[in-house]
Amino acid sequence: MLIWGPMPSSAKKSRVQLAELQHKQISEQDYRRKLKEQELKLLSLQRQLAESKTNNVIVVVEGPDAAGKGGAIKRLVERLDPRLLKVYSVIKPTAEEYLHHYMWRFWNKLPAYGQMAIFDRSWYGRVLVERVEGFASEAEWKRAYREINEFENVLTDDGTLILKFYLHIDKDEQLVRFNRRQADPYKHWKITEEDWRNRRNWDQHNKAAEEMFERTSTAAAPWYVIPANYKWYARLRMVKIVTEQVEKLLGK
């Protein structure tokens, strides 16, 4: 089941089942041709967005380790004007950030009107890894659903387009990618003990993600779940959705 828009009304009765996603392929020729088309279109839309005094765009990218988040983000922004966007790779909070509410460190990263911000992981860590690893108490991560929805409502009411993507790979594909990284001296830095620990909690992470979709996918800020075993398909799909939604925001 894929979410290309708001969660259906029946979603609360039947959650998105990540294990049941159908992973699609696309040929290299189609991928390169269609990606170029979408990138050029998005570049044109970015220039129009820059003239806006009331709108901006936030892209959130979540997913399990090695799901291809970084590669998808690279294709999203590689043809865009870097002066009008920022990409944030969110890691564990600093000592100073630990002294504040967990949302504090995101407020000063929100884009100015006319600009874009892309978050490689985000405030959703509170209901994902922080929940599973016990970094947040049960009361804290349960409260976070309401806090996140209210935070995003404030932004969308003010003209922000929020696009939330969850790139998902299956457990077998993750192992293949982990082993490939482990063996590649140029990519060895990408694999850590934390990645292996997260893998051991695979089912718990999936459960947290599925509940996150149910509790935080809204009409104004829906989740888009993309099967990502095949990188070309996932990258193209994410860029296409962003292009379509920015075009809609600008009324084109």
- CATH number of the domain residue 156 falls in: 3.40.50.300
**Taking a C-beta distance cutoff of 8 angstroms, is the pair 165, 59 a contact?**
yes
Q: Does residue 8 surpass a pLDDT of 80? A: no
Q: Does residue 14 surpass a pLDDT of 80? A: no
90 located within any domain: yes
Q: What is the mean pLDDT of residues 180-202?
A: 89
Can you list the alpha helix ranges (DSSP code H) found in the chain? 28-49, 69-77, 104-107, 129-133, 138-157, 171-183, 193-200, 202-216, 231-249
The pLDDT of residue 7: 43
The pLDDT of residue 192: 87
**Closest by CA position to 5, among listed 234, 213, 171, 227:** 213
9 located within any domain: no
Q: How does residue 11 score in pLDDT terms, banded at 50, 70 and 90? A: very low
Task: Write down the pTM of the prediction.
Answer: 0.93
CB atoms within 10 A of CB 14: 10
72 located within any domain: yes
**Residues across the chain:** 252
- pLDDT tens digit sequence for 127-174: 999 999 999 999 999 999 999 999 999 999 999 999 999 999 999 999
- pLDDT tens digit sequence for 23-62: 999 999 999 999 999 999 999 999 999 999 999 999 999 9
Q: Mean pLDDT check: name the lowest of 4-18, 68-82, 100-114.
A: 4-18
**Taking a C-beta distance cutoff of 8 angstroms, is the pair 164, 221 a contact?**
yes
The pLDDT of residue 231: 97
The pLDDT of residue 176: 95
The pLDDT of residue 252: 64
Kindly state the tokens that stand for 78. 């590689």
- pLDDT tens digit sequence for 102-132: 999 999 999 999 999 999 999 999 999 999 9
228 located within any domain: yes
The larger pLDDT score, comparing residue 194 to residue 210, is at 210
Total domains in the chain come to 1
| Alpha-carbon gap, residue 79 to 170, rounded angstroms | 30
User: Which residues touch 161 (CB under 8 Å, ≥6 apart)?
Assistant: 55, 56, 57, 58, 245, 246, 249
User: Which residues touch 66 (CB under 8 Å, ≥6 apart)?
Assistant: 169, 174, 177, 178, 181, 190, 195
1 located within any domain: no
18 located within any domain: no
Domain that holds residue 123: 25-249
Q: How does residue 188 score in pLDDT terms, banded at 50, 70 and 90? A: confident
- pLDDT tens digit sequence for 200-243: 999 999 999 999 999 999 999 999 999 999 999 999 999 999 99
17 located within any domain: no
14 located within any domain: no
